[in-house]
């Protein structure tokens, strides 16, 4: 007589086929069961024809990969546990000792830190280039350059580079281009067909932590491409590093993904309204938002994101920075941030809650960028609160602190 516990674990019931609902099911597994040894030996983890082990994919992660690839205009997608893991996965797949990687000086900080830390320790060199000077990038691409990172708009200072020229340069020199597309989110522009030019990046990484999650409660990243050989290279490294994602996290992103267009557009509109309002406030010496006519790289933004903007779709992330005039001390700027009621102090963006972070740019850049006024930077990210309340919050904090 078999023990009831054994019968429970091996219960033969399978529910009927054909279940259909708005969201795909959550399949949770480390172990995947094979019907027989022949099937176990025949299955290949590299394509989506079957399942081998939870780390290499489940129906839930396959569905999310396909949807993110569609969002970004790519053909293949690999999911990783964070946006930073996506950056690391790409770097480790494409670089080896003796190679060099080029990173824009305004890149997401931890991308630069990875180059200065682990990559340097592995004998992989790096250079930081001026994202607003195509000649500077051209001059730095050499025989050892194997990967060029791009970011549009740049982190914190929000410069929109001449993406088309940068990608064209990488193509001419035979170097892989990888875009950190977290800001554009696959909505402001198509990274694989920039501004309808037919020119696109080789790889797009996306911190799904931001807009795709939309809740401030999930960490996940994606790597999207349109080339099978490149996909396989990245997927092999992904497999060897064990960078799979959990089914509950994938499910959270799948739930939020259908509303990404609505949220992105709303947060874009709110950010532009507040950025324009901030431009009229004397304590702010400069407002940094690429969609504003005097924003850094506005013409490049127009070239690549203008079509989405003309359609009335979201064409910019709900982010902008201000340079607080240098007559105010860093302590006064801290007091301004502390005085805000609805803007909470916190990193990341794309969630329901508006956030603020003061930045000391001198610790982040090689030198003070010439297109920036001197002062203390403050970055705002827009949540989903009605913009009138957010504007009133900025006004009261300005009145109290600056």
- Which residues here bind ligand PLP, judged by CB under 6 A? 82-84, 108, 155, 180, 182, 207, 209-210, 219, 221, 348
Q: What is the CA radius of gyration of the chain?
A: 23
Q: Which is nearer to ligand PLP, 59 or 246 (CB)?
A: 246
Find the shortest distance in angstroms from Cβ 123 to ligand PLP. Answer: 25
- What is the closest distance, in whole angstroms, from the C-beta atom of residue 289 to ligand PLP in the complex? 16
CB of 58 to ligand PLP, least distance (A): 21
- Rounded to 10 deg, the angle between the 228-241 and 83-94 helix axes is 110
CB of 206 to ligand PLP, least distance (A): 8
Contact partners, residue 7, CB within 8 Å, separation at least 6:
none
Minimum CB separation from ligand PLP for residue 209, in Å?
Answer: 3
Between 72 and 180, name the residue whose CB sits nearer to ligand PLP: 180
Contact 319, 270 (CB under 8 A): no
Cis amide linkage into residue 153, ω under 30° from 0: yes
CB of 295 to ligand PLP, least distance (A): 17
Q: 336 vs 349, which CB is nearer to ligand PLP? A: 349
Q: 110 CB contacts (<8 Å, ≥6 apart)? A: 84, 87
Contact by Cβ (8 Å): 339, 401: yes
Nearer to ligand PLP, 19 or 347 (CB): 347
Neighbouring residues of 254: CB distance < 8 A, sequence distance ≥ 6: 23, 24, 60, 63, 64, 67
In the complex with ligand PLP, which residue's Cβ is closer, 206 or 265?
A: 206
Counting Cβ atoms within 10 Å, is residue 9 exposed (0-12), middle (13-18) or buried (19+)? exposed
Return the residue nearest ligand PLP (CB atom): 83
Q: Which residue has the tokens 């993110």?
A: 68
Q: Which of 350, 309, 319 has the alpha carbon at shortest distance from 189?
A: 309
- Residue among 13 and 347 whose Cβ is closer to ligand PLP: 347
Q: What is the smallest separation between the CB atom of 178 and ligand PLP, expressed in angstroms?
A: 12
> In 73-157, where does DSSP find H-type helix?
83-94, 109-114, 120-121, 134-140
C-beta of 114 vs 175, nearer to ligand PLP: 114
């Amino acid at each position: 007589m078999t023990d009831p516990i054994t019968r429970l674990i091996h219960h033969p019931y399978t529910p009927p086929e054909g279940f259909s609902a708005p969201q795909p099911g959550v399949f949770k597994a480390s172990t995947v069961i094979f019907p027989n040894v022949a099937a176990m030996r025949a299955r290949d983890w590299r394509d989506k024809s079957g399942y081998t082990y939870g780390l290499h994919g489940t129906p839930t992660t396959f569905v999310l990969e396909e949807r993110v690839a569609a969002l970004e205009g790519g053909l293949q997608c690999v999911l990783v546990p964070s946006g930073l893991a996506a950056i690391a996965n790409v770097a480790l797949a494409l670089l080896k000792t003796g190679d060099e990687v080029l990173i824009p000086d305004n890149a997401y900080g931890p991308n630069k830190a990875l180059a200065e830390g682990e990559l340097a320790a592995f004998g992989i060199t790096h250079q930081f280039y001026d994202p607003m000077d195509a000649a500077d990038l051209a001059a730095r691409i050499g025989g050892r350059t194997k990967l060029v990172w791009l970011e549009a708009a740049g982190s914190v200072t929000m410069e929109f580079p001449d993406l088309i020229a940068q990608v064209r340069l990488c193509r001419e020199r035979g170097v892989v281009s990888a875009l950190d597309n977290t800001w554009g989110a696959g909505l402001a522009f198509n990274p694989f067909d920039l501004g309808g030019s037919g020119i696109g990046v080789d790889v797009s990484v996306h911190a799904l932590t931001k807009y795709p999650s939309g809740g401030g409660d999930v960490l996940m990243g994606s790597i999207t491409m349109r080339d099978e050989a490149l996909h396989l290279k990245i997927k092999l490294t992904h497999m060897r590093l064990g960078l799979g994602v959990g089914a509950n996290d994938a499910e959270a992103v799948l739930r939020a993904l259908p509303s990404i267009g609505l949220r992105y557009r709303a947060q874009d509109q709110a950010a532009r309204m507040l950025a324009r309002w901030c431009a009229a406030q004397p304590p702010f010496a400069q407002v940094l938002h690429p969609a504003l006519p005097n924003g850094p790289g506005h013409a490049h933004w127009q070239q690549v994101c203008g079509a989405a903007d003309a359609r009335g779709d979201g064409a910019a992330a709900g982010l902008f920075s201000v340079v607080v005039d240098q007559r105010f001390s860093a302590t006064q700027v801290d007091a301004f941030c502390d005085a805000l009621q609805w803007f909470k102090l916190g990193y990341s963006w794309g969630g329901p809650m508006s956030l603020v972070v003061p930045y000391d740019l001198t610790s982040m850049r090689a030198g003070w960028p010439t297109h920036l006024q001197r002062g203390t930077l403050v970055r705002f990210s827009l949540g989903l609160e009605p913009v009138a309340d957010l504007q009133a919050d900025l006004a009261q904090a300005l009145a109290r602190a600056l």
